[in-house]
Homo-oligomer: A and B are copies of this chain.
Amino acid sequence: MTRRKIQIKKIDNTTARQVTFSKRRRGLFKKARELSTLCDAEIAVIVFSSTGKLSDYASSSMQQVIGRRQNLHSKNLNKMVQPSLEAQIDNTCKTLSSNETLERTHGMRQMIGEVLQRLNVEELQKLEELLEVGLSRVLKTKVCLSMLSLFGGIIIER
């Protein structure tokens, strides 16, 4: 597309491929950012490199769709002052089960977004272990189906 026109197929040379990956990924994110700003659109871009490394762009309201917090890249990730995991879970449970006025699905989705914004990776892993131990097989099945339903619903509604 410049010194020479190239054809769009996998670049064999590993080094060249990595360089192109970096350049074009930056370009892709820039385009996404511009489109979002110019047209008031919400955009999420998720990229896995061939070595499995994840990077992403998300306009503000899409942060929760890709399940990450605005400040995930902060060096101070684990040093932030925040309530304990237990307190956060407890608070989430209380909010979930007491707020009768929230439409259920909407409330759940919002909750997912809100809590994701407060938990970091390590905490999510602890939470997962916690559930791992506590859930019966029957419950797991229901959980899975619920996830399926809701996770599907978040994205698929169109």
Contact = CB atoms under 8 A, between A and B. Distances in A.
Closest 3 CB pairs of A and B: A67-B155, A21-B39, A40-B50
Contact of A147 (B17, B44, B143, B157): B143
Max chain B CB contacts within 10 Å: which of A17, A112, A121, A146?
Answer: A146
Contacts of A8: 33-34, 37-38
Interface of A: 6, 8-11, 17-18, 20-21, 24-25, 27-28, 31-35, 37-50, 53-54, 62, 65-68, 89, 92-93, 96-97, 104-105, 108, 111-112, 115-116, 119, 121, 124-125, 127-128, 131-132, 135, 137-158
Please give the count of copies of this chain that the complex contains: 2
B40 A104 contact: no
